Amino acid sequence: MHRRRWRPLALLRKVLTFAICAIALVALLSFHLHTFSSSIVPNFPDPYKLPTQHEFKHQRFSTVRSWTRELTPPHLSKAPLSSRQLAGARGTLELYKLWKSPPNRDFVPCVKPTAYYATPIESRGYLLVHTNGGLNQMRAGICDMVAVARIINATLVIPELDKRSFWQDSSNFSDVFDEDHFINALANDVRVVKKLPKEMAAATRAVKHFRSWSGMDYYRDEIASMWEDFQVIRAAKSDSRLANNNLPPDIQKLRCRACYEALRFSPQIEALGKLLVNRMRSYGRYIALHLRYEKDMLAFSGCTHGLSPAEADELRMIRENTAYWKIKDIDSGEQRSKGYCPLTPKEVGIFLSALGYPSNTPIYIAAGEIYGGDSHMADLRSRYPILKSKEKLASEELEPFMDHASQLAALDYIVSVESDVFIPSYSGNMARAVEGHRRFLGHRKTISPDRKILVRLFDKIERGTQKEGRNLSNRIIEAHRRRQGSPRKRKGPISGTKGMDRFRSEEAFYVNPLPDCLCQRESPNMNTSHIIR
């Protein structure tokens, strides 16, 4: 009788235990499904453009807190898990963290002018601009010239793009950028016209090389005084003509409005850029790898590690025959040991593996033609076979852009800004511009390789004194814990530097627009990070 009385209770206990386990399993599965379904294909604006000020009008901003070091993303505090662990639920969560952006501390764009900012009055003359360099060097120069036109009270004529650089691109401004949008977006800041008026064709004009990294006094005194003798001033160069720091807040905010709101790519570039992003998204979350292993970069930097003697000699000849590249004699080994060389495709593969990215990770190669082609890409492809590029993602759609380096670079720029993770193999103009743009859009994950540390580890691997595995991963992860793109104040000049070297050592304005163009949202409670993303 006693046993019969306890049998129903035992049965009930088993049923309840089974039900609890089933509920827990369903909850776990639904959590992972929700997490990945919402992160694989994020919304993409149509057309591709940056958020405007009105999108943040309901937010209040506080003064910027001062710091110089990045937060440590939690997943980089230890080495990646083994493949067996990655197969489980815990491994899935760790894999998710590899893609997660660092904490943004609720920083959002704040580029609205101050109450003291007035609409432009009648200008004193016309400013012509000849930009120089590649796409991103020209972009920064154009935005600086917008600010200069404001400072000296000039009407800005749509800038002329560089057609004489290494790339020999014949593109005009309207081929690369949305000309009408540029003019209209800056209507309350600077008067912009498409061409110099016919009546000004015979006007007195001056050609001037504006002094590098100049401040307000130089432009207000020396340049603005030229209006007394000239009606047209032509800036012979546009790059690095304006100081990074110590400018009025409204001038700094204007630079950001010009760069991130007014200087939109042309409709045809935006459309194809969106198409490329969507095609990359079809493979899942992806890394945009700016692989600066191109002939011009290697020739300019003198970096020949891993190349054949014939290839090294070809690069040397290019450098010697390019008149405006001043340095001809370069010690490749010394360059590399100091971290001045781009990582090779093989080294990038080792780096990504050490960080923990699995072999099925889709990677977009944001670059021109890789020097040596398949022979130098084989090692990276063996580790990460899903390697894509604009040429592989598009065929006939790409034909109108061929032979126009600036337009092709603009496509890479769009796909890189929208990527889940951006990794540059070299800190050139493209890498710096994309990093700054991603910081402006919410501090999207950008991993900046410490090349000086990495090449020492790679050399040990080649010598056989270091093997790939947990120990190498630990060292690489530790070296990059604070190189993830989280908020930090723009770095000033290196201590002890003087003159032009002092300005050269500063972090460029467009690499990191904080604190000038990013404000920390003031919130009544701590849990409000979901408001703006």
Q: Does residue 272 have a pLDDT over 60?
A: yes
Q: For the chain, give the percent of residues with pLDDT over 90.
A: 74
- Amino acid type, 18: F
- Longest pairwise C-alpha distance within the chain: 117
Reported confidence tier of residue 323, pLDDT bands at 50, 70, 90: confident
- Which residue has better confidence, 516 or 19? 516
d(CA 252, CA 244): 9
**pLDDT score for 47:** 36
DSSP state of 441: T
Residue/partner pairs of 110-117 with CB below 8 Å, 24 or more apart = 110/56, 110/61, 110/253, 110/517, 110/518, 110/519, 111/53, 111/253, 111/256, 111/257, 111/260, 111/261, 111/517, 112/53, 112/253, 113/188, 113/250, 113/253, 113/254, 114/249, 114/250, 114/253, 116/250, 117/250
- Amino acid type, 395: S
- Amino acid type, 128: L
- Over the range 397-414, which residues count as b (16 or more CB within 10 Å of their CB) and which as e? ebeebeebbbbbbbbbbb
| Ranges 26-35, 360-369, 489-498: which has the least confidence | 26-35
Whether the ω angle into residue 73 lies within 30 degrees of 0, i.e. cis, is no
**pLDDT score for 185:** 98
Q: Which residues contact 364 (CB under 8 A, 6 or more apart)?
A: 276, 280, 286, 287, 288, 289, 388, 389, 415, 416, 419
What percent of the residues of the chain are helix, what percent strand, and what percent coil, each to the nearest 5? 45, 10, 45
Strand partners, 365: 289
φ, ψ at 283 (rounded to 5°): -90, -5
Average pLDDT, the chain: 85
**pLDDT score for 13:** 65
**pLDDT score for 25:** 53
Half-sphere exposure of 185 (CA within 13 A, CB side): 25
Q: Does residue 79 have a pLDDT over 70?
A: no
Give yes or no for a contact between 365 and 389, defined as CB atoms under 8 angstroms apart: yes
Look up the CATH architecture of domain 125-261: 3-Layer(aba) Sandwich (3.40)
- Which residue has better confidence, 309 or 69? 309
CATH 3.40.50 domain extents, the chain: 125-261
Asked whether the CA dihedral 384, 389, 394, 396 is positive or negative, the reply is negative
Q: Does residue 210 have a pLDDT over 90?
A: yes
**327-339: pLDDT as tens digits:** 999 999 999 999 9
Kind of pairing between the strands at 154-157 and 125-129: parallel
Half-sphere exposure of 480 (CA within 13 A, CB side): 29
d(CA 436, CA 424): 13
**pLDDT score for 121:** 85
Instruction: Return the H-helix or E-strand segment holding 422.
Output: strand 421-424
* Residue 172 buriedness (CB in 10 A; 0-12 / 13-18 / 19+): middle
**pLDDT score for 201:** 87
d(CA 224, CA 236): 16
**pLDDT score for 12:** 60
Of 358, 319, 318, 510, the C-alpha closest to 427 is 510
d(CA 144, CA 206): 19
Q: Does residue 394 have a pLDDT over 80?
A: yes
Half-sphere exposure of 492 (CA within 13 A, CB side): 10
Instruction: Return the H-helix or E-strand segment holding 400.
Output: none
- pTM, two decimal places: 0.82
**pLDDT score for 64:** 36
Q: Which two tokens stand for residue 430?
A: 């493209």
**151-182: pLDDT as tens digits:** 999 999 999 999 887 778 899 999 999 999 99
CA angle, 529 as apex, 487 and 110 as ends, to 5°?
55
The angle that helices 451-463 and 470-479 make with each other, rounded to 10 degrees, is 160
Of 46, 39, 85, 32, the C-alpha closest to 421 is 39
Q: Which residues contact 113 (CB under 8 A, 6 or more apart)?
A: 188, 250, 253, 254
Instruction: Return the H-helix or E-strand segment holding 307.
Output: none
Reported confidence tier of residue 297, pLDDT bands at 50, 70, 90: very high
**pLDDT score for 457:** 97
Of 25, 140, 35, the C-alpha closest to 511 is 140
Strand partners, 62: 520
Reported confidence tier of residue 10, pLDDT bands at 50, 70, 90: low
Residue with tokens 């000033």: 492
Give yes or no for a contact between 510 and 433, defined as CB atoms under 8 angstroms apart: yes
Q: Which two tokens stand for residue 447?
A: 């991993």
Q: Which residues contact 35 (CB under 8 A, 6 or more apart)?
A: 96
